[in-house]
Structure 1
Amino acid sequence: MNDTASQPRDVPTARAAAPRATAPGTVATGRHTTGRYTTAQATALYVGAVLGTGVITLPAMAAETAGPASLVSWAALVALSVPLAAAFAALGARYPDAGGVSSYARIAFGDRLASVVGWCFFLAVPPGAAAAAFFGGSYVAEAFGGGSTTATLTAAALMLAVTCANAVGLRTTGRLQLALAALLVTLLVAAVVLSLPHARMANLQPFAPHGWAAIGPAATLLVWSFAGWEAITHLAAELRRPARDLPRATGAAVAVVGLLYLSVAFAVIAVLGSAAAETDAPLGELMAVGVGGDARKLAAVAALLLTLGTMNAYYAAAAKLGAALGRDGSAPAWLARGSGVGEVPRRGLAVVSGLALVSLATVTAADVEVRPLVLMTTASFVTVYAIGVAAALRLLPRGSGGRAAAGAALLAVVALLLMSGAYLLWPLAVSGAALLYLRLRRARTMVG
């Protein structure tokens, strides 16, 4: 596979589509046919990006925060996913580019906000990957023993496996994701179906033991589970026919993810009751109830598949984004190699993988709790969502379904921003670093 940075003529780059030169909604990319992903592979990538470590950990965390009322938080975020995913699908279909939301922000608002979006997404992936990998490792430790040592070593192994899979090439990534998505969906369905006969409606009472106000904090925590609707935009140019395939993949992914999340969340509370808030491995407990015996080992396999699928999709998307940022001048040019369609962004992948391993080492050495890492990461993704839907409102044609979806999503995203509270300091710091880099780069250019 050619590793030389290039950009096909039929894929608009963010640099070619400058804000003043391109009127919103004038770029049509429906004839783009140079990508390799099929609709099924794109759906699998989408499912893997969204349906991941959240389903193996956050039902318990949300139940601890809001009790059975956390089901309202789950339902609200599933509802939010529909317009949010539709808006990003419309953008990706019209502007298939490795820069994703960063490119849309550049077209709509200019280089500064594009850099902010790119940096927020790119630097959210390494700490998020560390937390996700540790979630998967915790299931292995629960099933086989070894405590934090087993969890940490498993997490590091997951990171290295995903790095190797992506280094082979994006085509391999798509096939791997398709297989992982099929396996993880099968395991989740089995866990829910086998455990639901043991559900008790009495476990839903009291419905809001911590008050109705707890639904907000639970929803903020659950954003982690729904982060990913923007991830596929970075790979849109890799689809064979983005204008046709991306909306189809998005609709299928929203349906699959929404149904599975609501089913698992309900089963965890209705079957486990108050014990749901006391376990670190709710899926393992569900499978133990439904299957009997030592089902925690099977749950550990499911957790590893879910974690691997999520990390696989995010490593691929972040590596492509890093290359696009280097190409467009928002990051060092050294990262630019691999931004073209079909190319492997190995330098971007190396940065993502290295920072993720550093994050894992830092968490292990400092004994940092997982919850703050989750909230820091979700604050970054909500920031990306806010700018992304604002760009959709500017770029998509008036009267189109995508633009209407963006308008509906914007109000909900603003509410999530407000609920993020102090954790917004992380994306604010990253935004400041991005703007400082641009300023220093321009200063060096003027001196040169």
Structure 2
Amino acid sequence: MTTLKKVLTWQDGAAFAVTAVMGTGILILPALTADMAGPAALIAWGLMGILVVPMAWTLGDLAVLHPAADGIAGYVRHAFGDRWARLVGYLYLGTVPLGAPAAALIGMGYVTRFFHWGAFWGILGALMMLVVALTVNALGVELSGRTANGVVVAIMILVASAIGFAIPHRAAHPYTPFAPHGWVPVGTAFALLYWAFIGWEMVGHMAEEFHHPRRDLPKALLASLVVIDCLYLGVAWVTVRTHTYGLMATGDGLARLVGLGLGSVGALWAVLTALFITYGSIHTYVAGFSRLVYAQARAGDLPAYFAELHPRWRTPVRVFIALAIPFLGVLGWDALRPFSLNALISWPSAMFIALYILAMAAGWRLASRRTAKIRAASGLLLSLVALGFLGWAALFPLIVIVVGWRGHKNRLIVAES
């Protein structure tokens, strides 16, 4: 069995983290949460920006403690044993296979709305984006890392421009009424923001491919955390300040922010760059997920078929091929019965929140210092609160666990017979 290449630096890690975390969330959530909760959505953004620090820090501690491709599954295995690690694998099967096509549909929604194209072209564009992500990741981690670095530059240019162009266009009385729909929508917006701040764990799955994981992983996560918090909070603030929301049906808030300063040309540029940003998040999700499945198969928790690497590119190509099946399924379903924005966000978010609950519990169990235990406990509390605001979507992780566990028992019965 060949091994993964050790070629990544802390800059590559920071780029992967930014592209994983700051994807479609920056495109839709500032306007969507303001539409839900009014200016009070800024409270949700501020709290999430603060509370995500101990969560990301804990994931960094865990990645240093266990720098391997299995990521959260490995952390949970060390803390609670093989059975719980197997549950992590089942939960992951409900994340990227659903979240990546959801992100592609959201990104292409930007393009189709701007050009007034039909739904067919949006689905076709989403399919092309997913095919490119699978292909580039299959061809090796060096190309994948260079792609991630380019996406980060595009993200920073777009978002900084959106903030700068929007600042002069202050709306009359932008902060009143502050909570027009009451305070419950602030909690719901807080839960949805989990979608905007997930993705740190994907860097942990690539830990085996860093030159110096114990040195580089903390630097990568710290740098990405600073960039992400600053840009997210800036866009949320100018969205409220300019009253660029009321867009629940379209969700093209970021393009409108840029359009305030540059008109239709600026909005076009924002749409095209936003498409590039969407690809970046999909790119990193696919990269991290493939390493997780490879590592779980290597450990015997998933079929051994996925434990083989391509002899030349040394990537888990079989995982990329298998991912094409759920990707096509989600796109086909959307073609027959289009998803709402809330559905595209809520269901994958529930899966990621469940994973973070297990990761934070493992971080608390494995931590040797009191401060590390406090950080993990803070992340655990944040995740539990967010899950409570997702409604029926919170049941999705339980359903996946039950289905996965029954499938595992059936495989054991077949193997014994």
TM beyond 0.5: yes
Match of 2:378 among 400, 408, 414: 408
Residue of structure 2 in register with 1:427 after alignment: 397
Residue of structure 1 in register with 2:69 after alignment: 98
Superposed, 1:282-361 pairs within 5 Å as 282-338=253-309, 343-361=314-332
Residue of structure 1 in register with 2:354 after alignment: 383
Report the count of equivalent residues: 416
Which 10-residue stretch deviates more, 229-238 or 79-88? Answer: 229-238
Instruction: Report if aligned partners of 2:244, 2:257 keep a CA contact under 8 Å in 1.
Output: no
Q: What is the CA–CA distance in structure 2 between the aligned matches of 1:427 and 1:350, rounded to whole Å?
A: 24
Q: What is the CA–CA distance in structure 1 between the aligned matches of 2:323 and 2:143, rounded to whole Å?
A: 19
Match of 1:417 among 387, 395, 416: 387
Match of 1:72 among 43, 54, 67: 43
Residue of structure 1 in register with 2:178 after alignment: 207
How far did residue 398 of structure 1 move?
Answer: 3.1
CA, structure 1 residues 275+369, in 2 after alignment: closer, same or farther (shift >3 Å)?
closer
Q: Which secondary structure state, in structure 2, belongs to the residue aligned with residue 255 of structure 1?
A: helix
Q: What is the CA–CA distance in structure 1 between the aligned matches of 2:295 and 2:206, rounded to whole Å?
A: 11
How far did residue 328 of structure 1 move?
Answer: 1.5
Does residue 407 of structure 2 align to residue 437 of structure 1? Answer: yes
**Could you tell me the TM-score, scaled by structure 1's length?**
0.89
Q: What is the CA–CA distance in structure 2 between the aligned matches of 1:278 and 1:361, rounded to whole Å?
A: 21
How far did residue 442 of structure 1 move?
Answer: 3.0
Residue of structure 1 in register with 2:25 after alignment: 54
Q: What is the CA–CA distance in structure 1 between the aligned matches of 2:22 and 2:184, rounded to whole Å?
A: 26
How far did residue 142 of structure 1 move?
Answer: 2.1
Equivalent position amino acid for 1:441 in 2: R
Deviation string 1:249-308 (CA, Å, 9 cap, x unpaired) is 111111100111111111112113554556421011111101123322111112111101
How far did residue 417 of structure 1 move?
Answer: 2.0
Q: What is the CA–CA distance in structure 2 between the aligned matches of 1:402 and 1:175, rounded to whole Å?
A: 33
Residue of structure 1 in register with 2:235 after alignment: 264
Q: Which secondary structure state, in structure 2, belongs to the residue aligned with residue 295 of structure 1?
A: helix
Match of 1:371 among 333, 342, 345: 342
Q: What is the CA–CA distance in structure 2 between the aligned matches of 1:67 and 1:207, rounded to whole Å?
A: 6
Residue of structure 2 in register with 1:251 after alignment: 222
Which 10-residue stretch deviates more, 246-255 or 290-299? Answer: 290-299
Deviation string 1:12-41 (CA, Å, 9 cap, x unpaired) is xxxxxxxxxxxxxxxxxxxxxx72111111
- Listed as ranges, the gaps of 5+ residues in structure 2 are none
Instruction: Report if aligned partners of 1:112, 1:435 keep a CA contact under 8 Å in 2.
Output: no
Residue of structure 2 in register with 1:192 after alignment: 163
Equivalent position amino acid for 1:209 in 2: P
CA, structure 1 residues 148+50, in 2 after alignment: closer, same or farther (shift >3 Å)?
same
How far did residue 430 of structure 1 move?
Answer: 1.0
Instruction: Report if aligned partners of 1:73, 1:215 keep a CA contact under 8 Å in 2.
Output: yes
Equivalent position amino acid for 2:321 in 1: A
Q: What is the CA–CA distance in structure 2 between the aligned matches of 1:168 and 1:65, rounded to whole Å?
A: 42
RMSD of Structure 2 on Structure 1 (CA): 1.9
Residue of structure 1 in register with 2:89 after alignment: 118
Q: What is the CA–CA distance in structure 1 between the aligned matches of 2:359 and 2:271, rounded to whole Å?
A: 35
Q: What is the CA–CA distance in structure 2 between the aligned matches of 1:48 and 1:204, rounded to whole Å?
A: 31
CA, structure 1 residues 292+368, in 2 after alignment: closer, same or farther (shift >3 Å)?
closer
Residue of structure 2 in register with 1:231 after alignment: 202
Match of 1:158 among 106, 129, 140: 129
Match of 1:44 among 15, 25, 28: 15
Q: What is the CA–CA distance in structure 2 between the aligned matches of 1:147 and 1:267, rounded to whole Å?
A: 30
Instruction: Report if aligned partners of 1:63, 1:277 keep a CA contact under 8 Å in 2.
Output: no
Deviation string 1:361-410 (CA, Å, 9 cap, x unpaired) is 112212232311310100000000000010111122233x4333112211
How far did residue 120 of structure 1 move?
Answer: 1.2
Q: Sequence identity, in percent?
A: 32
Residue of structure 2 in register with 1:13 after alignment: none
Q: Which secondary structure state, in structure 2, belongs to the residue aligned with residue 422 of structure 1?
A: helix
Equivalent position amino acid for 1:424 in 2: A
Equivalent position amino acid for 1:440 in 2: N
How far did residue 338 of structure 1 move?
Answer: 2.9
Which 10-residue stretch deviates more, 371-380 or 41-50? Answer: 371-380
Q: What is the CA–CA distance in structure 1 between the aligned matches of 2:412 and 2:373, rounded to whole Å?
A: 34
Q: What is the CA–CA distance in structure 1 between the aligned matches of 2:329 and 2:250, rounded to whole Å?
A: 28
Equivalent position amino acid for 1:198 in 2: H
**Could you tell me the TM-score, scaled by structure 2's length?**
0.95
Q: What is the CA–CA distance in structure 1 between the aligned matches of 2:151 and 2:178, rounded to whole Å?
A: 35
CA, structure 1 residues 90+339, in 2 after alignment: closer, same or farther (shift >3 Å)?
farther
Residue of structure 2 in register with 1:138 after alignment: 109
Which 10-residue stretch deviates more, 66-75 or 346-355? Answer: 346-355
Does residue 129 of structure 2 align to residue 129 of structure 1? Answer: no
Q: Which secondary structure state, in structure 2, belongs to the residue aligned with residue 285 of structure 1?
A: helix
Deviation string 1:130-172 (CA, Å, 9 cap, x unpaired) is 1110111111112222131222121111111111110111111
